[in-house]
């Protein structure tokens, strides 16, 4: 357990119990000042000032001060730690952060970066006390629950923090987080009353759960399950093959089969809720004839290829299976490999795989998955030559651009490159479906990345009736 690092979804839940961010996203994925920071103001394109709320205490009684914020940033910014939020610190000049007073921090940037507020609201940027270390060291944060016990890979118990700064919250005495490797077991545990809520309820189970008087939280998020083609590994190094693959997929059919219709179809571009999303790009439709001719032109008619995936998130394997079936129509033979060690050594080195992502703003997503420095760049984008080779410089321009309209234009240019020659096939956005027991109240559908309405905002905004 690490307040600033996650690998799996249970990690996300655990982190949310004890740690908090400076800013908060609400259900509409809009930033608010409801976090640890009273205000975050941009003094100049390369400087932000963070003002903390006064009187917030960590779970060990120590008051939250500017020193803790600086330590938190330093920790994330240390490359050797390999924390999830590291890539986002690229533009920050953490070494030059200044403590203006007990509760105020100045954050200078190396280059202008308009995405800093989003980063401050990301669950990977939690504030930890000075000297904080990951489990098995004591897990002390500002959050609503203290860690009581933890068996890694199995379960953790968290108990109410009586000293929590938001008075009145939280409502639960204890929160127990259990790791399940099997969604069948999860669903049945929910139906049997052994657990009160679960993440990633399979779409097929919504009817079952509702028939039992329980709730299915359907959040129309921007979460996506891309089919990733590495643009530098044959056969996908030929752009015609990539374009052909994108034309093979029947998006409506895939949405129906994998997600039971929950969600909306995609156009091979991510971040659909970002104001800068390029709606002008024509919606791709299935075109088998064109796909076949493209493959033939590339010399890859009757292509046979392996598609790797795993049971990492609901719908991953099904997406692969359905795509393999659809590809037969174009003479392409796809062999789906469901690999339990998918996230092991070969992750990010595969030519063809299905992965999963949550909701993010466009530029934040680019930084996480579409740059050479990104931690999770499955497609090995951007290309070194030709269309899209200026992607990274465009990104830096967008970060620095303070004028929203101009920034949107840059983002459109980036998206056009990805739309034309990129490595992602994004057939649909399936949304997050979670399940909860009848007596759990307060959950609201959220457009954010985390399940269960950000786990009830750290299990604070939900209660038993």
Partner 1 sequence: MSQVSSDWVADAEIAPPLPVVHGTSLLRRSLRLWRTRIGLALLGLIVLLAIVGPYVAPYGPSTPVGAPNSDPSGKAVLGTDYLGQDVLSRVLYGGRSILVMAVLATALGLVVGIAIGLVAAYSRNALDDTLMRGMDVIMALPSILLALVAVAIVGPHAWVIVAAIALTTVPRIARVTRGTALPIVERDFIAASEAMGVPRWRILSGELLPNCLGPLMVEASLRLTYSIALIAGLAFLGLSPNPNGANWGTMIQQNEIVLAVQPWGAAAPIIVIALLTLGTGLIGDGIARTAAGIDRARGEE
Partner 2 sequence: MWGFILRRLLLGIVVLILVSILVFLATQALPGDPARAILGRSATPASLAALRRQLHLDQPVFTQYWTWITGLLHGNLGRSLAAQEPVSTLLAPKLVNSAVLVALAAVLSIPLSIAIGAWAAFRREKAFDQASSNLLLAAAALPEFVVGLVLVILFATTVLHVLPAVSTVPPGSRPWNDWLALVLPTLTLVIAVAPYVARIMRASMIEVLESDYVEMARLKGLPERTVLIRHALPNALGPVFQVIALNLAYLAGGIILVEVVFNYTGIGSATAEAVVNHDLPVIQALAILLAAVYVVLNLLADLATILVTPKLRTQL
Where on the chain is the footprint of partner 2 (CB under 8 A)?
151, 153-155, 178, 181-182, 184-185, 188-189, 191-192, 194, 339-341, 344-346, 349-350
Helical ranges in 201-250 per DSSP H: 206-211, 239-248
- Give the nearest distance from C-beta 55 to partner 2 in angstroms: 37
Of the pair 348, 394, the CB lying nearest partner 2 is at: 348
Pick 102 or 151: Cβ nearer partner 2: 151
Which of 459, 378, 389 minimizes the C-alpha distance to 424?
378
In terms of CB distance, is 11 or 339 closer to partner 2?
Answer: 339
Encoded tokens for 181: 């490797």
354, 225 Cβ separation under 8 angstroms = yes
Among 22, 50, 187, 399, the residue binding partner 1 under the rule CB under 8 A is: 187
Is there binding between residue 179 and partner 1 (CB under 8 A)?
A: no
DSSP code at position 264: E
Q: Which is nearer to partner 2, 286 or 309 (CB)?
A: 309
Supply φ then ψ for residue 212, to 5 degrees.
-90, 15
Cβ distance to partner 2 smaller for residue 144 or 350:
350
Q: Minimum distance from CB of 340 to partner 1 (Å)?
A: 10
Q: Position of tokens 């799996």?
A: 8
**x/- string (CB under 8 A) for partner 1, residues 196-215?**
------xxxx-xx--x----
Binding segment (CB under 8 A) for partner 1, from list 34-42, 179-187, 271-279, 396-404: 179-187
Listed in sequence order, the DSSP H helices in 146-261 are 183-191, 206-211, 239-248, 251-259
Footprint of partner 1 on residues 346-385 (CB under 8 A)?
none
Would you count residue 169 as binding partner 1 (CB under 8 A)?
A: no
Question: Binding segment for partner 1 among 80-88, 167-175, 278-286, 315-323 (CB under 8 A)?
Answer: 315-323
DSSP letter for each residue of 97-114: -EEEETTEEEEEBSS--T
CB of 260 to partner 1, least distance (A): 5
In angstroms and rounded to an integer, the radius of gyration of the C-alpha atoms of the chain is 22
Sign of CA dihedral 163, 166, 169, 170: negative
Name, in order, each residue with C-beta under 8 angstroms of 51's C-beta and a sequence gap of 6 or more: 37, 38, 39, 40, 41, 103, 104
324 binds partner 1 (CB under 8 A): yes
The residue written with tokens 């905002």 in the block is 457
Q: Give the residues lining the site for partner 1 (CB under 8 A).
A: 183-184, 187, 202-205, 207-208, 211, 253, 256-258, 260-261, 318, 321-322, 324-325, 336, 338
């Amino acid at each position: 357990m690490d307040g600033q690092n996650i690998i799996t979804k249970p990690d996300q839940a655990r982190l949310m119990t004890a740690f908090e961010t400076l800013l908060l996203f609400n259900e509409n994925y809009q930033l608010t000042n409801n976090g640890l920071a009273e205000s975050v103001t941009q003094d100049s394109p390369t400087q932000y000032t963070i003002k903390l709320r006064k009187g917030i205490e960590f779970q060990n009684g120590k008051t939250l001060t500017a020193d803790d914020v600086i330590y938190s940033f330093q920790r994330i910014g240390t490359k050797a730690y390999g924390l999830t939020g590291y890539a986002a610190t690229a533009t920050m000049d953490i070494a030059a952060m200044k403590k203006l007073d007990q509760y105020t921090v100045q954050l200078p940037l190396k280059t202008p970066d308009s995405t800093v507020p989003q980063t401050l609201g990301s669950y990977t940027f939690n504030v930890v006390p000075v000297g904080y270390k990951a489990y098995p060291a004591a897990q002390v944060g500002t959050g609503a629950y203290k860690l009581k016990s933890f068996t890694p890979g199995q379960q953790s118990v968290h108990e109410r923090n009586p000293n929590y700064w938001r008075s009145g919250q939280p409502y639960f005495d204890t929160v127990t987080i259990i790791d399940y490797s099997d969604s069948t077991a999860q669903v049945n545990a929910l139906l049997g009353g052994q657990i009160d809520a679960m993440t990633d309820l399979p779409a097929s189970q919504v009817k079952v759960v509702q028939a039992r008087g329980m709730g299915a939280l359907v959040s129309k998020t921007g979460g996506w399950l891309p089919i990733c083609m590495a643009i530098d590994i044959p056969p996908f190094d030929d752009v015609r093959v990539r374009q052909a693959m994108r034309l093979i997929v029947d998006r409506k059919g895939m949405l129906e089969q994998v997600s039971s219709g929950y969600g909306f179809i995609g156009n091979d571009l991510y971040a659909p809720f970002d104001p800068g999303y390029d709606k002008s790009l024509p919606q791709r439709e299935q075109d088998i004839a064109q796909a076949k001719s493209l493959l033939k032109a590339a010399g890859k008619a009757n292509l046979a290829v392996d598609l790797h995936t795993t049971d990492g998130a609901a719908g991953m394997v099904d997406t692969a299976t359905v795509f393999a079936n659809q590809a037969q129509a174009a003479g392409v033979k796809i062999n789906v490999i469901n690999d339990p060690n998918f996230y092991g050594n070969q992750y990010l080195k595969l030519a063809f795989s299905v992965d999963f992502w949550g909701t993010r703003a466009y530029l934040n997503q680019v930084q996480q998955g579409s740059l050479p420095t990104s931690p999770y760049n499955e497609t090995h984008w951007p290309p070194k030559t030709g269309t899209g080779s200026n992607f990274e410089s465009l990104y830096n321009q967008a970060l620095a651009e303070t004028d929203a309209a101009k920034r949107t234009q840059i983002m459109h240019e980036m998206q056009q490159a990805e739309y034309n020659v990129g490595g992602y096939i994004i057939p649909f956005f399936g949304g997050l479906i979670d399940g909860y027991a009848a007596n759990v109240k307060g959950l609201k559908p959220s457009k954010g990345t985390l399940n269960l309405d950000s786990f009830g905002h750290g299990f604070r905004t939900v209660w038993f009736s």
